[in-house]
Amino acid sequence: MKRPAIRQAFFMLRPVMSLQPILDELFAMTFHAGIKPGLERITSMLAELGDPHHRLTSIHVAGTNGKGSTCSLLASILTEAGYNVGLYTSPHIRRFNERIRINGVPITDADVARLAVPLMEHAKAIGGTFFEVTTAAALQYFAERRVDVAVIETGLGGRLDATNVITPLLSVITAIDLDHMEYLGTTIPQIAGEKAGIIKAGVPVVIGPNGSDACDVFERRAEHVGSEIVFAEDSVAVEVDAYYADLTMSISAISDDTRRYYVSELTGLHQSENICTVLGAIPILQRSLAIDDEDVRRGLRSVRRNSGIAGRTEIIANDPLTIIDVSHNPGGMHSLVRTLMASRIAGPLHVVFGAMSDKDVEGMLGELLALHPTIHACAADLPRSMPYPDVAAIAKSIGHEQVISHTSVAEAVQAARARGTTIICGSFHVADEAAQTLGFLS
- pLDDT tens profile 332-353: 899 899 999 988 887 799 999 9
Average pLDDT, the chain: 91
Among 307, 338, 354, where does a domain finish?
A: 307
Whole-number pLDDT of residue 33: 52
Would you say the C-alpha torsion 166, 28, 106, 270 has a positive or negative sign?
Answer: negative
DSSP per-residue string spanning 287-349: TTS---HHHHHHHHHTHHHHH----SSEEEETTTTEEE----SHHHHHHHHHHHHHTT--SS-
CATH number at residue 16: 3.40.1190.10
Whole-number pLDDT of residue 13: 38
Same domain, 56 and 133: yes
Predicted confidence (pLDDT) at residue 27 exceeds the cutoff of 90: no
Of 177, 165, 176, 161, whose CA–CA distance to 140 is shortest?
165
Return the SS3 of 27: helix
- pLDDT tens profile 186-245: 799 999 999 999 999 999 999 999 999 999 999 999 999 999 999 999 999 999 999 998
Same domain, 255 and 363: no
Residues 6+ apart with CB under 8 A from 44: 122, 126, 128
What would the 3-class secondary structure string for 176-236 be? CCCCCHHHHCCCHHHHHHHHHHHCCCCCCEEECCCCHHHHHHHHHHHHHHCCCEEEHHHHC
Among 307, 341, 365, where does a domain finish?
A: 307
Same domain, 180 and 250: yes
Predicted confidence (pLDDT) at residue 135 exceeds the cutoff of 50: yes
Among 278, 307, 336, where does a domain finish?
A: 307
Same domain, 180 and 273: yes
CATH number at residue 391: 3.90.190.20
Same domain, 233 and 330: no
Of 169, 172, 213, 171, whose CA–CA distance to 193 is shortest?
213
- In the chain, the percentage of residues whose pLDDT exceeds 70 is 93
Residues 6+ apart with CB under 8 A from 401: none
Same domain, 163 and 226: yes
Same domain, 381 and 277: no
Same domain, 412 and 297: no
Bridge pairing between strands 249-255 and 258-264: antiparallel
Domain range spanning residue 273?
A: 5-307
Same domain, 228 and 363: no
Predicted confidence (pLDDT) at residue 38 exceeds the cutoff of 90: no
Same domain, 39 and 108: yes
- pLDDT tens profile 144-198: 999 999 999 999 888 999 999 999 999 999 999 876 555 566 799 999 999 999 9
Number of separate domains in the chain: 2
Same domain, 367 and 411: yes
Predicted confidence (pLDDT) at residue 62 exceeds the cutoff of 80: yes
In angstroms, the CA 171 to CA 340 distance is 31
Comparing 69-73, 123-127, 134-138, 366-370, the range with the smallest average pLDDT is: 123-127
Whole-number pLDDT of residue 29: 82
Using pLDDT thresholds of 50, 70 and 90, give the confidence band for residue 439: confident
Same domain, 32 and 61: yes
pTM to 2 decimal places: 0.88
